[in-house]
Amino acid sequence: MATTTLDRAAPAGTGTGTAVNGTGNLLRFMLRRDRIRLPAWTLGLPLLMTYFAAALDTIAQTPEDLAGLTVFTSSPAGALFGGPGFGFDDLTIERFLAGQYGLYILLGAGLMGLLTVVRHTRTEERTGRAELVRANVVGRHAQLTAALTLTTVMAALVALLIGAMMTSRGFDAGGSMVFGASVGAVALTFAGIAAVTVQLSEYPRAASGMAGAALGAAFVLRGLGDMAAVQGNGPSWLSWLSPIGWSQQTAAYVHDRWWPLAVSLAFAAATAATGYLLSARRDFGAGLVPPRPGSPRAASWLAGPFAFAFRLHRASLIGWSAALLVAGVAYGSFTQPLLDGFENAPEDLVEVMGGGSGDLLAGYLGMMGLTMALVVGVYAVIAVQSLRAEETEGRAEPVLATSVSRTGWLGSHIAVVALGVPWLLLVAGVGMGIGAAASTGDPGLLGDLLVGHLAHTPAVWLVLSAAALLYAAAPRTLPVIWVLLGYGLIAGYFAPILELPEGVLRLSPFEHVGEYPLEEVSVVAVGVLTVLAGALAQAAVAVFRRRDLAGGA
Amino acid sequence: MTAAIDIQHLHKSFGRVRALDGLDLRVDAGTVHGFLGPNGAGKSTTIRILLGLLRADAGQVRLLGGDPWADAVALHRRLAYVPGDVELWPNLTGGEAIDLFARLRGGTDPVRRDELCQRFDLDPSKKGRTYSKGNRQKVALIAALASDVELLLLDEPTAGLDPLMEAVFQECIREVKDAGRTVLLSSHILAQVEVLADQISIIRQGRIVETGSLTELRHLTRTSVEAVTDRPADGLANLAGVHGLRTDGDQVRFEVDGDQLAVVVRELGDLGVQGLTVRPPTLEQLLLRHYGDRLVRNGTAEVA
């Protein structure tokens, strides 16, 4: 599929045949380097789909169960988190799988596409390894060509495996192939987008960040469009601006349309061609956006370990603040459409949404508070992971060789992140509040949302200090902290479906404070969680004094 | 003379790997001490123990009169450190990093900082991620040299510097020494240590195998002699302390033990010496003496 892309694109650069010299060898080399990653992606996505299919089988054993699910999924909120819901009026298991869960496979495929391209192009250039490669008989476009070919192979594998897996479960073969291909198409479009973003910045993180932002925008655009489509009015054409939207418009198992994927392929071809064109206009190792010189002197406030820790976390805090504000406004503005969608919903469904008291609005707002708390939890864990990188990459060593004590170093970082947690919850709450108030015309919601978001602060603190303790005691065990967050997610979202006993549920730090405004904020829980988090942070700092520091070199 | 660094019987293992195996090291205050050894001999481990970044398994370590693990913070105010492989923060400029190190250590001389930036030809307004290895090294060097401290711990500080900058570095170290400060200079650039160090310790497999001034160590090795003589000089081979004698017409080359040099020179005079080149042993030769046995046993001619 994308081979045509490449053939078409190559003349756009400076050379023709010789510019892609060595592509075959590079491709083999990439396959060798990705011998774990490639199977992980190409098997992981079909396996995730298999898991969804198996899970749905157990949840919806009778047609009535299935019908019960549709009430939510064909609502605006369902459209936002799922898709346009083709054929949901005559629901089957496979239509629900493709129309509701399919979105998350599409997102995964998009990530696969963009990360693979960035990894094999800009990252290689940044580390200087590409320089060694390019000094051999390797054409100017060989690296990008090989990376795009590799991604195409991965996309094709994912498409075929998902198609085969769905067929083997007894679903219509034609629909299964359409669905599989729609997943592969998203990988190709975001590979194309990444082919452009890697030309723009010198830094792989910026390149994948830009492509990731495009993925997020694609998600939001089709969410707004699909909501409008489900409601029957509004800008449903927005879905057609999104690469994810094109894949969803194939309407697998309903219309089985192939032609929207032609749009995806054309887009992938065009973006890849743009990537080639831009790459010919820049120097090796450079980005199209040149780096700016910075200040030759440190600002006067940049003194002491706390100020320094803040300086290191500042960029990420700004990024997270912006993302959470946008996400908050976006999700907040869905409040009124959501209420409209549920106006005629049966009682039992309202209960599923957490509106057991009949107060659906409070249920939705409380749920969003929990969602944002989990997202801020991800921020806290990533921030602690960056500490580990400071140590292993040798940047902590010269700092600790000054008169900064270990306690001061770790304590400052924990303190900065701990202050970042309520700040980010506040930002998310303000965004949600503005969106919800504008959408419903009730400015009072802003206050409710602020309380509902900020109340989760101690729970996120507990995640933060547990992560810090793991890092301080044995850095290798740090990834274990994701289990806690993952459990928080499962307990928060799926507890009613999974019928978890209360005691098990309360193992999650997020299940104690209460989802305000649906539930009252438990002052006792806030106090206990805060004290517990403080104790763990103390322990982290104490333990950190006792171990050897990992070397940089 | 007081000792700035006094290490006795220091042991440190990483799992089953024994990095330091009874290391003894004494660095007198106000001296430049060369710390020589091949990669993996334990130089960086020793320095990182001195910084309190690693904890010693056994042995006595005193640094500026304190315990480097327990009194780390207080001691760090009085020393500056330059690692061999400097990593900087990608989004901080070099100038910001220099100021930051200085402030975290407790003050610096801004005039001296700017002067050093000029001498080392560093553009402090570039972001950390855009610096080459040599420039990152300069950032750490300037931060250390600009600070008013008693002790400099330099772990292969000039790896990646060009010869011009190497000369600037040597000049700076001489100034540091004139100011009465102490320097521990770990290196495998032998010429640098030869020029700068008052005392030298050679480390091998986690132990100090040789320590002393360059003059003292020279006694331990052989001087190379090339001479042109009127009369055949084959007879020199029979003198004590003469090794590897080869003649080529009226030319003779051999090596002689340091303490036998006087006897051999007298003999050369009697043979009617026309030309004479006597080379003191280089540090390469000193090192080869300690690592050479291993190289010979392995049958390889590689010299680190």
The closest CB to that of B100, out of A308, A397, A548, belongs to: A308
By CA distance, what is A285's nearest residue in B?
B130
CA distances in angstroms from A469 to A408, A474, A480, B129, B150, listed in the order given: 15, 8, 11, 30, 36
**pLDDT value, residue A470:** 96
The closest CB to that of B83, out of A315, A397, A406, belongs to: A397
What is the Rg, in whole angstroms, of the alpha carbon atoms belonging to chain B?
A: 23
SS3 A171: coil
Tokens standing for residue A435: 């969106």
Interface contact A312, partner B, CB < 8 A = yes
B185 in Cβ contact with B193 (< 8 Å): yes
Query: How many angstroms away from the CA of A169 is the closest CA of chain B?
Result: 50
Tell me which residues of chain B, numbers 48 to 107, contact chain A at a CB-CB cutoff of 8 Å.
48, 51-55, 72-74, 76-77, 79-81, 83-101, 103-106
Put simply, the answer to whether B55 touches A548 (Cβ < 8 Å) is: yes
Of B284 and A529, which is predicted with more confidence? Answer: A529
Put simply, the answer to whether B48 touches A394 (Cβ < 8 Å) is: no
Burial of A339 from C-beta contacts in 10 A (0-12 / 13-18 / 19+) = middle
ipTM over 0.90: no
Q: What is the DSSP string of A456-511?
A: THHHHHHHHHHHHHHHHH-GGGGGGHHHHHHHHHHHHHHHHHHT--HHHHTTSGGG
Interface contact A397, partner B, CB < 8 A = yes
Strand order in the sheet with B222-229: B242-248, B251-257, B222-229, B273-279
For residue A400, the chain B residues in CB contact (below 8 A) are 51-53, 72
**pLDDT value, residue A72:** 64
| B169-201 confidence digits (pLDDT tens) | 999 999 999 999 999 999 877 777 888 999 999
Would you state the torsion angle of the CA atoms of residues A182, A185, A190, A193, taken in this order, to the nearest 10 degrees?
-130
Domain B3-217 shares a fold with domain B222-280: no
Phi, psi of A200 (to 5 degrees): -80, -45
Average pLDDT per consecutive 10 residues, chain A (553 residues; last block may be shorter): 42 55 90 92 94 81 74 72 84 88 93 95 87 83 94 97 95 95 97 95 88 92 88 86 96 94 97 94 82 85 92 92 87 75 58 58 86 94 93 92 93 97 96 87 90 95 97 94 90 74 86 85 93 97 92 54
Pairs from A169-176 (Cβ < 8 Å, separation ≥ 24): A169/A53, A169/A94, A171/A93, A171/A94, A171/A253, A172/A94, A172/A253, A174/A256, A175/A94, A175/A98, A175/A252, A175/A253, A175/A254, A175/A256, A176/A94, A176/A252
By CA distance, what is B125's nearest residue in A?
A296
Cα separation, A211 vs A221, whole angstroms: 15
Put simply, the answer to whether A401 touches B81 (Cβ < 8 Å) is: yes
For residue A298, the chain B residues in CB contact (below 8 A) are 95-100, 103
Cα separation, A197 vs A209, whole angstroms: 9
Strand order in the sheet with B58-63: B17-28, B3-14, B58-63
Residue B227's Cβ-side half-sphere holds a number of Cα atoms within 13 Å equal to 26
CA distances in angstroms from A493 to A353, A482, A487, A497, listed in the order given: 9, 16, 10, 9
Query: How many angstroms away from the CA of B123 is the closest CA of chain A?
Result: 8
Tell me which residues of chain A, numbers 402 to 431, contact chain B at a CB-CB cutoff of 8 Å.
402-406, 408
Put simply, the answer to whether A401 touches B77 (Cβ < 8 Å) is: no
The closest CB to that of B127, out of A294, A398, A552, belongs to: A294
Confidence of residue B293 (pLDDT cuts 50, 70, 90): low
Give me the amino acid identity at A380.
A
The residues, any chain, with a CB within 8 Å of residue A159's CB and separated by 6 or more, are A177, A180, A181, A183, A184, A185
Q: Quickly list H helices, A90-203.
A: 93-96, 102-120, 122-127, 129-134, 142-168, 173-200
SS3 B8: strand
Tokens standing for residue B55: 């904890």
pTM equals 0.73
At the fourth CATH level, the homologous superfamily of domain B222-280 is Malonyl-CoA ACP transacylase, ACP-binding (3.30.70.250)
User: Which CATH fold topology does B3-217 show?
Assistant: Rossmann fold (3.40.50)
**pLDDT value, residue A12:** 41
B221 in Cβ contact with B241 (< 8 Å): no
A482 in Cβ contact with A378 (< 8 Å): no
The residues, any chain, with a CB within 8 Å of residue A382's CB and separated by 6 or more, are A316
B202 in Cβ contact with B209 (< 8 Å): yes
Tokens standing for residue A285: 């190792």
Tokens standing for residue B157: 């500080």
The closest CB to that of A402, out of B76, B95, B124, belongs to: B76
Q: Give percent helix, percent strand, percent coil of chain A, each to the nearest 5.
A: 75, 0, 25
| Chain pair A-B, CB pairs under 8 angstroms | 118
Put simply, the answer to whether A298 touches B95 (Cβ < 8 Å) is: yes
Put simply, the answer to whether A394 touches B89 (Cβ < 8 Å) is: no
Domain spans, chain B: 3-217, 222-280
Length of chain B: 304
Put simply, the answer to whether A296 touches B48 (Cβ < 8 Å) is: no
A372 in Cβ contact with A328 (< 8 Å): yes
For residue B100, the chain A residues in CB contact (below 8 A) are 298, 302-303, 308
Tokens standing for residue A121: 């192009």
Peptide bond preceding A517 in cis form (omega within 30 of 0): yes
Give me the amino acid identity at A498.
L
| B223-243 confidence digits (pLDDT tens) | 888 999 888 888 888 888 888
The closest CB to that of B104, out of A402, A546, A553, belongs to: A402
A255 in Cβ contact with A281 (< 8 Å): no
The H or E element that residue B10 is part of is strand B3-14
Burial of A54 from C-beta contacts in 10 A (0-12 / 13-18 / 19+) = exposed
For residue B126, the chain A residues in CB contact (below 8 A) are 293-294
Tokens standing for residue A119: 């990894």
By CA distance, what is B124's nearest residue in A?
A296
Of B158 and B114, which is predicted with more confidence? Answer: B114
**pLDDT value, residue B292:** 64
Rounded to whole angstroms, the maximal C-alpha distance in chain B is: 72
Put simply, the answer to whether B99 touches A549 (Cβ < 8 Å) is: no
**pLDDT value, residue B201:** 92
For residue B44, the chain A residues in CB contact (below 8 A) are 551, 553
Cα three-residue angle B229-B234-B240, rounded to 5 degrees: 110
Interface contact A401, partner B, CB < 8 A = yes
| B17-68 confidence digits (pLDDT tens) | 999 999 999 999 999 999 988 888 899 999 999 999 999 999 999 999 999 9
Give me the amino acid identity at A45.
L
What is the Rg, in whole angstroms, of the alpha carbon atoms belonging to chain A?
A: 25
The closest CB to that of A403, out of B55, B77, B89, belongs to: B77
**pLDDT value, residue A348:** 54
**pLDDT value, residue B186:** 93
Query: How many angstroms away from the CA of B59 is the closest CA of chain A?
Result: 17
Cα separation, A186 vs A161, whole angstroms: 15
B203 in Cβ contact with B23 (< 8 Å): yes
Query: How many angstroms away from the CA of A315 is the closest CA of chain B?
Result: 9
Put simply, the answer to whether A548 touches B54 (Cβ < 8 Å) is: yes
Put simply, the answer to whether B85 touches A553 (Cβ < 8 Å) is: yes
Judged against a pLDDT cut of 90, whether residue B291 lies above it is answered with no
Q: What is the DSSP string of A306-375?
A: HHHHHHHHHHHHHHHHHHHHHHHHHHHTTHHHHHHHHTT--HHHHHHTT-TTS-HHHHHHHHHHHHHHHH
